[in-house]
């Protein structure tokens, strides 16, 4: 009997010790939570509250963010980067009707993987020698492979090609509308690789480049500045695709200066000379 009483007493003492340990741990935890809350209350009471944002603060932050942002490149800059590797300088030596030697220059554009170059026929008419300069500086001679007098288009085959060259991407003139952006790239007045920007200002125009030349029909009219040296160069849309080959400019004066009207042979017509399918 005494042993049972002693066993029960020992069990109760053990339980009491466990409760005391749990109570002590709970008290310590509660004390820690209370201390943290007191610390937070003291910090909130002593630390100043942040000042509310004003409209001026927001405007200044927006202005700084916009000033640090890099604006995207203009369409014209991207168009030039796309077409520049395909651009060709054409220089010719000629013999005039009086037998005297002469010279001329124009532009051309590489249009296929074989390196065929589209240009205006009048650039190379009566040429005794045709010299090409590619975008990487490679120089070579060329021969006229195809002539389309009715469209003032010629295809040149270079004597050799650069190690690396990029044929231009041909676009669709039928997808263009009056008012669409247009870019002309060539060598006006001998200024290599010049670009001018404007808009498409008409379609299906008729133009006669010279008194003894053919009357060209179905031309694209545009107002990007072109001058002697632009002939044969590409007319481009905003994606950098060739939509025409520059044929000439309208000039009511005796001076060879641009007055705001240029013409280009649509590429779906000109490209056929280089074997491009109609589209």
Q: Which residue among 86, 194, 201, 231 is the active-site one?
A: 231
Q: Which residue among 120, 122, 194, 201 is the active-site one?
A: 122
Q: Which residue among 86, 120, 152, 194 is the active-site one?
A: 152
Active site residue 187: no
DSSP the chain: -HHHHHHHHHHHHHHHHHHHHHHHHHHHHHHHHHHHHHHHHHHHHHSPPPPPPPHHHHHHHHHHHHHHSPPPPPHHHHHHHHHGGGEEEEEEEEE-TTS-EEEEEEEEEE-STT--EEEEHHHHTTEEEEEEE-TTS-EEEEEEEEEEGGGTEEEEEESS--SS--PPPB--GGG--TT-EEEEEE-GGG-TTEEEEEEEEEEEEEE-SSTTSPPEEEEEEE-S---TT-TTPEEE-TTS-EEEEEEEE--SSSS----S-EEEEEHHHHGGGGTPPP-
Residues acting as catalytic residues: 122, 152, 231
């Amino acid at each position: 009997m005494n042993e049972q009483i002693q066993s029960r007493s020992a069990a109760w003492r053990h339980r009491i010790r466990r409760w005391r340990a749990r109570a002590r741990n709970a008290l310590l935890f509660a004390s820690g939570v209370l201390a943290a809350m007191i610390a937070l209350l003291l910090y909130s009471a002593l630390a100043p509250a942040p000042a509310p944002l004003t409209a001026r603060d927001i405007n200044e932050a927006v202005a700084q963010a916009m000033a640090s942002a890099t604006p995207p490149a203009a369409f014209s800059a991207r168009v030039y980067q796309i077409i520049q590797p395909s651009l060709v300088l054409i220089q010719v030596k000629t013999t005039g009707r009086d037998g005297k030697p002469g010279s001329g220059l124009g532009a051309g554009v590489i249009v296929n993987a074989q390196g065929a170059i589209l240009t205006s026929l009048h650039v190379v008419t009566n040429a005794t020698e045709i010299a090409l300069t590619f975008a990487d500086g490679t120089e070579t001679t060329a021969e006229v492979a195809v002539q389309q007098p009715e469209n003032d288009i010629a295809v040149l085959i270079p004597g050799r090609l650069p190690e690396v060259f990029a044929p231009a991407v041909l676009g669709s003139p039928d997808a263009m509308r009056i008012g669409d952006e247009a870019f002309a790239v060539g060598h006006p007045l001998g200024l290599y690789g010049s670009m001018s920007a404007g808009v498409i200002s008409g379609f299906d125009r008729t133009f006669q480049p010279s008194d003894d030349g053919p009357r060209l029909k179905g031309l694209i009219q545009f107002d990007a500045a072109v001058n002697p040296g632009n002939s044969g160069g590409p007319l481009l849309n905003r994606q950098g695709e060739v939509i025409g080959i520059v044929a000439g400019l309208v000039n009511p004066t005796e001076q060879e200066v641009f007055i705001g009207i240029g013409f280009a042979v649509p590429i779906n017509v000109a490209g056929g000379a280089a074997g491009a399918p109609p589209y």
